[in-house]
């Protein structure tokens, strides 16, 4: 037996649990199946996930976060346009779900239960934050929050679309994602113009004042 922590064990078992959840649901049976696949003591695996479905789903999301950070470090994304950075990060997460669509559908249904909404919201925020950090975001003002809320909504909508997408290679989901990102980029451009400092924006009053009282 190793000195592996419970958190590390959860991350290790998470992909196998997701595979089993497509057939067994996010239930103890999925944990037992994953433990058998990974050669883990079933009692230890059951203890690691004793808090139930949301703990299993949280571990799955955390594993995707971890794999994403390893595969797409900020140094690799730095020279790309911001929209392409975001697109690649979200697409990595979607690619990790290929073949696990049924597990995803079941997970989304569990996360939508009233008692789980708060936890699901925190998980969505955490994933959005991880993506923005890898994309190089350093905002500390209100943009820090609006960016994560916006990306979280894009990702949630894309996940829901992906879960029902039957197109070849999930091509329709790629189109959906690109369209959503483009809409947000256009919104960000408009917002930036509206929020420019006053001296950087056109002012009819200032122009008329200069015409009436030209500078000496």
CA dist., res. 36 & res. 39, Å (int): 5
pTM for the complete prediction? Answer: 0.83
Half-sphere exposure (CA, 13 Å, Cβ side) for 53?
19
Tokens coding 21? 């959840």
Cβ neighbours, 10 Å, residue 193 = 10
> Same domain for 159 and 170?
yes
Residues 147 and 177 in one domain: yes
**Is 216 a domain residue?**
no
CA distance 103 to 96: 12
Could you tell me if 41 and 58 lie in one domain? no
Residue 98 and residue 179 share a domain: yes
Shared-domain flag, residues 105 and 190: yes
- Region label for 170, one of left (φ > 0), alpha (ψ between -120 and 50) or beta (otherwise): left
What one-character-per-residue DSSP string does the chain give? Answer: -----HHHHHHHHHHHHHHHHHHH-SSHHHHHHHHHHHT--HHHHHHHTTT-HHHHHHHHHHHHHHHHHHHS-HHHHTTS-HHHHHHHHHHHHHHTTTT-HHHHHHHHHHHTSGGGHHHHHHHHHHHHHHHHHHTT----SHHHHHHHHHHHHHHHHHHHHHHH--SGGGHHHHHHHHHHHHHHHHHHHHHHHHTS-GGGS--HHHHHHHHHS---
Residues 186 and 141 in one domain: yes
Both tokens assigned to 30:
């999925």
- 120 and 138 share a domain? yes
pLDDT of residue 1: 43
Q: How many domains does the chain have?
A: 2
What string of H, E and C letters represents the secondary structure of 109-157? HHHCCHHHHHHHHHHHHHHHHHHHHHCCCCCCCHHHHHHHHHHHHHHHH
Look at residue 187 in the predicted model and tell me its pLDDT: 55
Take residue 74 and report the two structure tokens written for it: 């900020």
CATH of residue 169:
1.10.357.10
Q: Tokens in use for 156?
A: 């949630």
Same-domain pairing of 35 and 81: no
Mark whether 31 and 126 lie in a shared domain.
no
Q: Write out the chain's pLDDT in tens, 216 residues.
A: 455 799 999 999 999 999 999 999 999 999 999 999 999 999 999 999 999 999 999 999 999 999 999 999 999 998 999 999 999 999 999 999 999 999 999 999 999 999 999 999 999 999 999 999 999 988 888 889 988 999 999 999 999 999 999 999 999 999 999 999 887 777 556 555 555 555 444 454 454 455 554 554
Supply the range of the domain harboring residue 13. 1-50
Task: Give the pLDDT confidence score for residue 3 in this predicted structure.
Answer: 59
Q: Are residues 43 and 62 in the same domain?
A: no
**Cα 138 to chain centroid, rounded:** 18
């Amino acid at each position: 037996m190793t000195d592996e922590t419970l958190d590390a064990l959860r991350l290790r078992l998470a992909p196998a649990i997701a595979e089993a959840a497509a057939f067994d649901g996010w239930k103890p049976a999925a944990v037992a199946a994953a433990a058998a696949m990974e050669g883990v003591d079933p009692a230890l695996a059951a203890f690691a996930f004793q808090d139930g479905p949301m703990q299993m789903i949280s571990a799955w999301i955390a594993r995707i976060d971890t794999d994403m950070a390893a595969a797409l470090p900020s140094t690799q994304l730095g020279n790309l346009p911001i929209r392409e950075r975001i697109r690649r990060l979200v697409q990595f997460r979607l690619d990790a779900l290929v073949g696990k669509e049924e597990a995803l559908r079941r997970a989304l249904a569990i996360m939508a239960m009233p008692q789980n909404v708060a936890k699901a919201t925190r998980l969505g925020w955490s994933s959005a934050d991880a993506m923005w950090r890898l994309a190089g975001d350093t905002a500390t003002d209100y943009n820090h929050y609006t960016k994560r809320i916006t990306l979280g909504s894009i990702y949630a909508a894309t996940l829901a679309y992906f879960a029902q997408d039957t197109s070849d290679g999930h091509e329709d989901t790629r189109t959906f994602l690109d369209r959503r990102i483009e809409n947000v980029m256009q919104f960000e451009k408009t917002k930036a113009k509206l929020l420019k400092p006053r001296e950087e924006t056109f002012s009819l009053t200032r122009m008329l004042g200069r015409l009436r009282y030209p500078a000496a």
